[in-house]
C-alpha cells in the first residue's frame, strides 16, 4: 500500500520525489552494510601479498627532534586507518597459497596393486598413533598422492615442520588432546606462517578472523596472531577440543575444523549417523574439500610419523628457538634487529604476527629475539632515542601544509618525501591525502622500505592490488619483473584494462612469462642444478640467498670465508655449493 501511495505521489509531483526516496533508501542500505563489515564480500587471495601501499608504521606522539604534532597519535587513531583496520590483509603483507585450497580439485586414484603396496608399507612401519587410524582406500589414495604423485611438495612441508613440531606437540599435549592431531597443519598450510586461503583463513592453523578472535587471537591493524605459530596452536587445540566435546569423534571434529561445526552438525542430524565415512559417502552433506580433508590428514600423519618408509630422506629445518622481551611503545623490527645483533629477516621470522614489521604504539608488546640476545637487545634499545626507534610516519595533509613545511617538521628533505610516496618531482599535495614520511632514523638503515612487499624474496608469489594510475609496466618495474610476466601469472591478456582494486599475481625478479605462470600455479621456481655460484643482487641478504639456494647461512659463510654479518655488494659472486 505504501508503494502505491509513493508512486501516485510521484505522478503528481514529478520524478524528483521518487529519486529522493530511492537515494535515501540506498544511503540507509549502505550505512547498514558499513555497520557490518564482516558481511562484505572481499575478493579471495590465493597467494602472495596484498597491495604494496606505502602505509606501514607511525611515530609515537612523545618523540623528540624533530618535534611531531601534538595530536599526531590522536589523529591517527581517529580515522587514518579506518579502512585498513577492516582489511584481512595489511598492505604489503606477504602471504602464500594455502595447500588445502586445492583439496577439492584432487582426486586420488590408485590401482589394486598400488593399494596393496601402500598397505604393506604401512604394516611394515606400524607407527604408534594416539588417536584411531584408518587405512581405507581413501586414506591410502592420499598416501599415494603425497608419497608418489606429489613428493616434492610434501617434502617441503616435512622440512619446514622441523621448525615447529616439538613446540606444537607440547602445546597439544598440554591441552589434553592427541598430539598427532598437529599433522593437520601439514594439510592446512604445510607449516607456512604466511599461508592464506581463498576463504581468508590464515597462518599455520588457518583461522578465519572470526574464529581466531573467538579463541583469543588478536587481529587488528598492527598484530595478527593467526600468523603466530605458538598462539595459533593454542587456539587450534582449544577449537579441536571443543569440536570433539560436541561430536564425540575425532574425524568429525576434523571435518568441523574444515567445514565449520554448523555444517557438520546439520550433516549428523540429517543422516542420523556419527560416522564420518558414512556421512561422506555422498556429496549431499559435506563438500568435496571436507570429504578429502580428513583422509588427507590421516595420510599426512602416517607419512610424517615414518617418512623414510615412504621414500622421503628429510633434511628437517632447525628448530626455531627464541627468548622474549617486552618492548614499550613503537619500535621497528629493523631497529630491534640491530639492537639484538641479528638481521631483519631473522626478526621477521621470529615475529610473524607483527604485520607492520613494528610493535604497536602506546602499548607493551612481547617481542621474540634470538636465544642469548634478550639482555643485549633491551640495553641497546634503552640507549636508542625515541625518534630513532621507527623509520616511517604517516601524516594526513591539512589545509595550508606543503612538502616544505612537512620536511622541516620531520627533519627530512622534500626529495625524501617525494621518493617515498612515488611522487616524482611533483610538489602538489591535496588536503586529506595520507603521506608516508621517512624519519631521521632511515639514514641509519639504507635501503629500508615502508612497504613489506618490497622485501619479499625473488620467486615468491605476491598479490598486488591495483591503484589509480597503475599499469602492468609500472608494477613490473617496482618488482623487478615485466608486464608480460605479470599478465601470464595473473591469467590476463597483456593489454587488458586494469580496474582499481583488481588483484594481480606478481612474481618478483622473474621476467620469463612461462616461469612466472608456473610459479603462480604453485610450481615453485625451477632450480639450476648445475649452478655452484650466485651473483649478489640489490636487496639480497645471506638469509635470502640461503633460502633460495636451499642451504644455510652457516654453509654460505664457510664456503666463502665470510662472517654472517658481512656486507654484501651487488655483483659479488658467492659459492653456494
Spell out the domain ranges in the chain. Answer: 2-35, 72-91+321-444, 97-310, 528-577
Rounded Cα gap, residues 228 and 205, in angstroms: 10
| Confidence at residue 536, expressed as pLDDT on a 0 to 100 scale | 81
Q: Which tens digit of pLDDT belongs to each residue from 350-398?
A: 999 998 888 988 789 999 999 999 999 999 999 988 778 888 777 888 8
pLDDT > 90: percent of the chain? 41
For residue 37, whether the previous peptide bond is cis, meaning omega lies within 30 degrees of 0, is no
**Pairwise pLDDT comparison (207 vs 513), residue with the higher score:** 207
Average pLDDT on 304-320 reads 93
Q: Which fold has domain 97-310?
A: Lysozyme (1.10.530)
Banded model confidence at residue 447, pLDDT cuts 50, 70, 90 = low
Banded model confidence at residue 96, pLDDT cuts 50, 70, 90 = confident
Is the pLDDT confidence value at 228 over 90? yes
| Confidence at residue 403, expressed as pLDDT on a 0 to 100 scale | 92
Average pLDDT on 135-147 reads 91
| Confidence at residue 411, expressed as pLDDT on a 0 to 100 scale | 76
Average pLDDT on 291-309 reads 95
Is the pLDDT confidence value at 451 over 50? no
Measured CA to CA in angstroms, residue 483 lies from 474, 499, 507 at distances of: 8, 16, 11
Banded model confidence at residue 478, pLDDT cuts 50, 70, 90 = low
| Confidence at residue 523, expressed as pLDDT on a 0 to 100 scale | 59
Determine contact, residues 534/545, Cβ cutoff 8 Å: yes
Backbone angles phi, psi at 505, to 5 degrees: -90, 130
- Number of CB atoms found within 10 A of residue 125's CB: 15
Domain 528-577: CATH superfamily, name plus number: LysM domain (3.10.350.10)
| Confidence at residue 61, expressed as pLDDT on a 0 to 100 scale | 27
Q: Which tens digit of pLDDT belongs to each residue from 39-63?
A: 333 333 333 333 333 222 222 222 2
Q: Which tens digit of pLDDT belongs to each residue from 340-352?
A: 999 999 999 999 9
3-state secondary structure 517-576: HHHHCCCCCCCCCCCCEEECCCCCCHHHHHHHHCCCHHHHHHHHCCCCCCCCCCCCEEEC
C-alpha cell at 470: 597503475
Classify domain 72-91+321-444 by CATH number: 3.10.350.10
Rounded Cα gap, residues 39 and 36, in angstroms: 6
State pTM to two decimals. Answer: 0.63
Banded model confidence at residue 514, pLDDT cuts 50, 70, 90 = confident
Is the pLDDT confidence value at 562 over 50? yes
Is the pLDDT confidence value at 428 over 80? yes
Q: Do domains 72-91+321-444 and 97-310 have the same CATH topology?
A: no
Backbone angles phi, psi at 400, to 5 degrees: 90, -10
Average pLDDT on 315-338 reads 94
Average pLDDT on 231-260 reads 97
Banded model confidence at residue 555, pLDDT cuts 50, 70, 90 = confident
Determine contact, residues 91/55, Cβ cutoff 8 Å: yes
Rounded Cα gap, residues 552 and 103, in angstroms: 32
Those residues with Cβ within 8 angstroms of residue 18's Cβ, 6 or more apart along the chain or in another chain: 6, 7, 10
Is the pLDDT confidence value at 323 over 50? yes
Rounded Cα gap, residues 354 and 157, in angstroms: 23
Determine contact, residues 435/406, Cβ cutoff 8 Å: yes
Amino acid at each position: 500500500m505504501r508503494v502505491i501511495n509513493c508512486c501516485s505521489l510521484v505522478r503528481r509531483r514529478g520524478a524528483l520525489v521518487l529519486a529522493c526516496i530511492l537515494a535515501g533508501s540506498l544511503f540507509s542500505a549502505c550505512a547498514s552494510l558499513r555497520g557490518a563489515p564482516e558481511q562484505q564480500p572481499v575478493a579471495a587471495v590465493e597467494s602472495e601479498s596484498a597491495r604494496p601501499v606505502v602505509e606501514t608504521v607511525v611515530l609515537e606522539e612523545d618523540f623528540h627532534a624533530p618535534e611531531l604534532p601534538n595530536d599526531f597519535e590522536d589523529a591517527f587513531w581517529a580515522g587514518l586507518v579506518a579502512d585498513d583496520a577492516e582489511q584481512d590483509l595489511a598492505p604489503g603483507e606477504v602471504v602464500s597459497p594455502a595447500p588445502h585450497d586445492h583439496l577439492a580439485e584432487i582426486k586420488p586414484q590408485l590401482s589394486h596393486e598400488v593399494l596393496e603396496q601402500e598397505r604393506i608399507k604401512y604394516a611394515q612401519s606400524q607407527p604408534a598413533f594416539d588417536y584411531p587410524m584408518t587405512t581405507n582406500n581413501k586414506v591410502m589414495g592420499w598416501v599415494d598422492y603425497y608419497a608418489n604423485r606429489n613428493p616434492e611438495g610434501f617434502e617441503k612441508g616435512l622440512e619446514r615442520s622441523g621448525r615447529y613440531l616439538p613446540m606444537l606437540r607440547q602445546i597439544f599435549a598440554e591441552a589434553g588432546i592427541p598430539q598427532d592431531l598437529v599433522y593437520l597443519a601439514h594439510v592446512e598450510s604445510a607449516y607456512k606462517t604466511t599461508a592464506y586461503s581463498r576463504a581468508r583463513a590464515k597462518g599455520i592453523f588457518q583461522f578465519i578472523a572470526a574464529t581466531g578472535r573467538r579463541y583469543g587471537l588478536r587481529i587488528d591493524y598492527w598484530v595478527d596472531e593467526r600468523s603466530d605459530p605458538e598462539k595459533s596452536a593454542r587456539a587450534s587445540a582449544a577449537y579441536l577440543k571443543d569440536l570433539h566435546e560436541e561430536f564425540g569423534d575425532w574425524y568429525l571434529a576434523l571435518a568441523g575444523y574444515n567445514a565449520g561445526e554448523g555444517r557438520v552438525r546439520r550433516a549428523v542430524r540429517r543422516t542420523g549417523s556419527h560416522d564420518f565415512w558414512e556421512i561422506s559417502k555422498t556429496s549431499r552433506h559435506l563438500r568435496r574439500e571436507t570429504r578429502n580433508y580428513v583422509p588427507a590428514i590421516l595420510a599426512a600423519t602416517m607419512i610424517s610419523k615414518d617418512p623414510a618408509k615412504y621414500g622421503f630422506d628429510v633434511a628437517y629445518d632447525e628448530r626455531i628457538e627464541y627468548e622474549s622481551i617486552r618492548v614499550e611503545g613503537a619500535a621497528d623490527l629493523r631497529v630491534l634487529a640491530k639492537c639484538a645483533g641479528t638481521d631483519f629477516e631473522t626478526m621477521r621470522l621470529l615475529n610473524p604476527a607483527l604485520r607492520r614489521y613494528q610493535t604497536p604504539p602506546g602499548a607493551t608488546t612481547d617481542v621474540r629475539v634470538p636465544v642469548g640476545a634478550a639482555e643485549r637487545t633491551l640495553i641497546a634499545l634503552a640507549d636508542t632515542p625515541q625518534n630513532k626507534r621507527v623509520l616511517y610516519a604517516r601524516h594526513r595533509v591539512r589545509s595550508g601544509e606543503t612538502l616544505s613545511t612537512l620536511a622541516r617538521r620531520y627533519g627530512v628533505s622534500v626529495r625524501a618525501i617525494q621518493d617515498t610516496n612515488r611522487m616524482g618531482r611533483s610538489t602538489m599535495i591535496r588536503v586529506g591525502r595520507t603521506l608516508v614520511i621517512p624519519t631521521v632514523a632511515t639514514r641509519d638503515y639504507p635501503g629500508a622500505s615502508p612497504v613489506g612487499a618490497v622485501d619479499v624474496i625473488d620467486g615468491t608469489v605476491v598479490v598486488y592490488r591495483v591503484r589509480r594510475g597503475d599499469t602492468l609496466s609500472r608494477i613490473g618495474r617496482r618488482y623487478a619483473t615485466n608486464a608480460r610476466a605479470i599478465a601470464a601469472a595473473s591469467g590476463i591478456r597483456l593489454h587488458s584494462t586494469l580496474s582499481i582494486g583488481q588483484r594481480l599475481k606478481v612474481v618478483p625478479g622473474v621476467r620469463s612469462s612461462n616461469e612466472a605462470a608456473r610459479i603462480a600455479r604453485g610450481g615453485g621456481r625451477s632450480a639450476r642444478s648445475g649452478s655452484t655460484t650466485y651473483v649478489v643482487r640489490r636487496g639480497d641478504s645471506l638469509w635470502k640467498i640461503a633460502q633460495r639456494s636451499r642451504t644455510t647461512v652457516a654453509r654460505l659463510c664457510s664456503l666463502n670465508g665470510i662472517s654472517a654479518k658481512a656486507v654484501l655488494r651487488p655483483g659479488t659472486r658467492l659459492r653456494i655449493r
